[in-house]
Amino acid sequence: MSDVAITADPPKKKGFFRRLLKWCFWLFILFILLIAIVAALIFRVPHKLGLIPNVAKKHMVLTPDREGARRILKAAIKRGMPAKGVNLYVIPYKKGDASIILLHLDASEGFKFNAKKSKRGPIGDTFVQVASGSEVQGLGIERVSMVYFSKYGKDLMTMSASRSDILQYANGKLTKKTFMEKVDGDINLPAMIDEQIQTLKKYSKTKDETLNKLSTKERKALKGLLK
């Protein structure tokens, strides 16, 4: 009887710590898993793996209207849109009843917004330059989508607006605020963060290069000034 009592006590203590350790371990694993899931969602892994059906794959499969695209691009450039680093596609929707303009603005290929001051801002201006001309009529254009690629080759943002909204905005019937509310968009968060990091790195490099050009005396004087 006494043998049983002696052997029963010590394992109780060991079991408690073991269980606590086990719980900590599983909590840690759960925490890592949660981080991994959030990261996978932000980096859009399910989309990349094809686990979530691509709507564009379903709706924009027909042949682009290359001739129409050439005409629209030419007219938009005449209206002030920069010509370098721009690709424009007119793609009919699957049923062929309407089309969409896909505007590809690529800073890595030399695209730069026209920074001329305007009420609409450079992005609003680009929407209007592309969709407001007579050359768009007869092509059944319903929407304009704009994809901006940064100078590091990442797609930062996609913005899309219906042609009727763009026309109303161009004619002053819609305010900037109302137009913004009507614009649909998608933002590539990881690419935006990466872009900021790259810009900071570049800035820090330029700063170091400028500092290196200064003499020791000048550097000391600058440090004192900054203090």
Partner 1 sequence: MKKLRLFSLILPFVFVLTACDKEDTDFVMDFANDWMIEKGMMYKDKKTGEVKPTIKAGLVATGWATSGDPKVDAALQAGYVIKGVKESDELVDKAQEDMAKKPPDSSKALEKLDKAVSNRPNDWYYKNSRGTTYLQMGNVTAAESDFKAGEDNCQGNSRCLLALYRDRTSQLTDLKDQQTANNQNAADCSTYTHLLASKRKLRGMTTGSIQKAHTAEIRQLMSNQASCKKGK
Site for partner 1 in 79-98 (CB under 8 A): 87, 89, 91-93, 96
Distance CA 118, CA 103 (A): 21
Minimum distance of partner 1 from residue 15's CB (angstroms): 41
Stretch binding partner 1 (CB under 8 A), from 5-13, 18-26, 72-80, 117-125 = 117-125
Tell which positions 3-32 bind partner 1, by CB under 8 A.
Answer: none
Q: Could you give the CA distance from residue 92 to residue 141 in angstroms, rounded to a whole number?
A: 8
Tokens, residue 103:
């505007």
Which residue in 73, 128, 148, 174 binds partner 1 (CB under 8 A)?
Answer: 148
Q: Which of residues 122-141 bind partner 1 (CB under 8 A)?
A: 122-123
Cβ 98 vs Cβ 140: under 8 Å: yes
Find the shortest distance in angstroms from Cβ 183 to partner 1: 6
Q: What share of the chain is helix, strand, coil (3-state, %, to 5)?
A: 60, 15, 25
Q: Which of 27, 32, 42, 83 touches partner 1 by CB under 8 A?
A: 42
Contact (CB, 8 A) for 140 and 99: yes
Largest interatomic CA distance in the chain: 101
- 194 contacts partner 1 (rule: CB under 8 A): no
Is 35 one of the binding residues for partner 1 (CB under 8 A)?
A: no
